[in-house]
Amino acid sequence: MIARAPLYSRLVAPWMRRTLDPLLPVDRFSRVDRRIVFIIWTAGVVQGFAQSQAAATLPFTRAGLGLTEGEMSLLLGIARLAAFAALPLGWIGDHKGRRRPFLWAVTLVIAGGTLAGLAFESWQFGTAQAILRTGTAGMSGLAIVLLAEQVAPTIRAYAISFYGAAVSFGGGLALMTLPLADGGGSNWRTPHLLIGAALLVLPFLVRNVSESHIFIEAHDQRHWRELATGEWARRFWIVAGIGFLVSAYSAVALAFSTSRMIEELEISTGSTVLIGLLGGTVGGIGFFVGGHLADAWGRRKTTVISLLLALAGGLVIYWSESIVLLVVAVMVSSFGTFAFVPAGGSHRAELFPTGLRASANTAATNFALVGSATGLILGIFTIDRFGLSETVTALGVGMAAAAFLTLLLPETRGQDLTAASTDRR
């Protein structure tokens, strides 16, 4: 029997196939692969919508709470530091299973995001954001582990790209609610309160999120000490450092992008939303290009290029006043940021053995949150004194350093996760 070519190969012209190939997986998804990807995609949309509201509505939330830019930066930074409460979720993930702590994390995201819309004082808003960030730290680490351990190795990075795309899509939905926050008074609360609608999704996740088969079969119990000071310590601290530096830059660059356009450049709210959606939508192909390249080319190279593109685009956003350049910069920055998600996520999951994978990924996510907190807290000393653009540029040096640190890690493309403990290069 003659093997049949994939359907798209038979229906699409050769030149178009060559154009589409970088956007497609290097191997086929099975029914099981598609199912787990869709379930985690759904959770990712909820996460993205909830965690993006603080940044999307920042000018209006800040005014509603009576805070300066520097004070808002400090408040959001402290909220991220509180997210170290997610570390037990990673420990439970390695000792009791990935499923339950993941669902607890989703619940924290919905609860914290909704409570933020009910806050009357700044400390109440900060507490709600701390609850939300604890949930996002747990979700970000465990979602990637659940995907990495349940899809085929040849499409692992590409599968993770769907989770990243879901978080981004949720962020886009959050940006679309920005006009609801405009108008003064208590309007800033509306987008935050909309997060509560995600409670309708929770029963679906409870029914359908399944336990990782690799965890069930592994029986690979390990101690936190192996990450902190043991045989996996060097690898872990490099990964933690990369996450810290990337987040220190990106947290400030993302959190104040709407303020930069609306308050400094005096671009209308509607135009700001349009720039963000247009640039983010086009840049969104970075998820799938990044996933394809990470599976076909390698994790390290794709990660380095992604970080440098994100840095370059972000700096232009904070130094350009041209609408056209702003749109292009958002596209480039978004492309790099999005391509980093599948490349960096799959790399991080493959670097550690089964008995440490959830702990390592959750802890690395927490260090990323510390990085974002550090960047935002530094903002209270630097933004009001030196300027927003100057602060973002200084933090960009760390982003470049993160790209260099990535080269110190081993390449893991095609890694068998059940045998990761034998590879300690």
pLDDT at residue 220 in the model: 64
Q: Give pLDDT tens digits for 23-55.
A: 778 788 899 999 999 999 999 999 999 999 988
Taking 90 as the threshold, does the pLDDT of residue 244 lie above it?
Answer: yes
Percent of the chain with pLDDT over 70: 91
CATH architecture of 27-413: Up-down Bundle (1.20)
- Cα first-last separation, the chain: 44
Taking 50 as the threshold, does the pLDDT of residue 95 lie above it?
Answer: yes
Residue pair 40/146 in contact by the 8 Å Cβ criterion: yes
Taking 50 as the threshold, does the pLDDT of residue 19 lie above it?
Answer: yes
Mean pLDDT taken over the chain: 85
Reported as a pLDDT band with limits 50, 70 and 90, residue 223 is low
Q: Comparing 83 with 400, which gets the higher pLDDT?
A: 400
Lowest mean pLDDT among 160-164, 248-252, 349-353, 371-375: 371-375
pLDDT at residue 183 in the model: 72
Lowest mean pLDDT among 49-53, 224-228, 317-321: 224-228
Q: Give pLDDT tens digits for 142-157.
A: 999 999 999 988 899 9
Residue pair 98/358 in contact by the 8 Å Cβ criterion: yes
Residue pair 170/47 in contact by the 8 Å Cβ criterion: yes
Count the Cβ atoms, other than its own, within 10 Å of residue 314. Answer: 28
- Alpha-carbon span 124 to 192, nearest angstrom: 13
pLDDT at residue 261 in the model: 84
Residue pair 269/386 in contact by the 8 Å Cβ criterion: no
Count the Cβ atoms, other than its own, within 10 Å of residue 381. Answer: 13
Q: Give pLDDT tens digits for 66-75.
A: 888 778 877 8
pLDDT at residue 118 in the model: 92
Reported as a pLDDT band with limits 50, 70 and 90, residue 420 is very low
pLDDT at residue 3 in the model: 43
How many C-alpha atoms does 314 have within 13 Å on its Cβ side? 34
Q: Give pLDDT tens digits for 384-409.
A: 788 888 889 999 999 999 999 999 99
C-alpha angle 237/142/161, rounded to 5°? 90
Query: What's the DSSP call for residue 43?
Result: H
Q: Whose structure tokens read 């890690």?
A: 409
Sequential DSSP letters for 98-111: SHHHHHHHHHHHHH
pLDDT at residue 5 in the model: 47
Q: Give pLDDT tens digits for 159-213.
A: 999 998 899 889 889 988 888 887 777 888 999 999 999 999 999 999 999 988 8
Reported as a pLDDT band with limits 50, 70 and 90, residue 255 is confident
Question: By C-alpha distance, which of 134, 94, 311 is closest to 223?
Answer: 94
Q: Where are the domains of the chain?
A: 27-413
Reported as a pLDDT band with limits 50, 70 and 90, residue 339 is very high
